[in-house]
Amino acid sequence: MIWQSQAPISEQMKNKKKIKNIIGPQLRKLRYQHEMTQECFAARCGVLGWDISRGTLSKIEAQLRCVSDSELRVLARALQIKIESLYP
């Protein structure tokens, strides 16, 4: 039997919990303040040209998915806020 070297379990756990963006919690907070569901917010982003699913939005809010600069712009426009307001 051939054994492959693996990183220690603690190292593997760190890699799984790596944060993909810093705006997720703030995005969720602002969306709640605007009294929008994830589906409603995703639809609003779609009107602005970004076809995003509710599931993808959920991953962004949970900090599991990266957000590009152009996506960040659409998120801010959908909430009618400045981009800076998305940062903690």
* pLDDT tens-digit profile, the chain (88 residues): 454 545 555 555 555 668 899 999 999 999 999 999 999 999 999 999 999 999 999 999 999 999 999 999 999 999 999 999 999 8
Domain membership flag for residue 53:
yes
Domain membership flag for residue 13:
no
| Structural domain of 66 | 19-86
Would the pTM count as exceeding 0.85?
Answer: no
Look at the chain and report how many structural domains it folds into. Answer: 1
Domain membership flag for residue 48:
yes
CA distances to 19, 24, 55, 65 from 13, in Å: 12, 21, 23, 17
We report the CATH number of the domain holding residue 54 as: 1.10.260.40
Domain membership flag for residue 4:
no
pLDDT at 69: 96
Domain membership flag for residue 8:
no
Amino acid (one-letter) located at 88: P
pLDDT at 19: 87
pLDDT at 1: 47
| Count of beta carbons in the 10 Å neighbourhood of residue 57 | 22
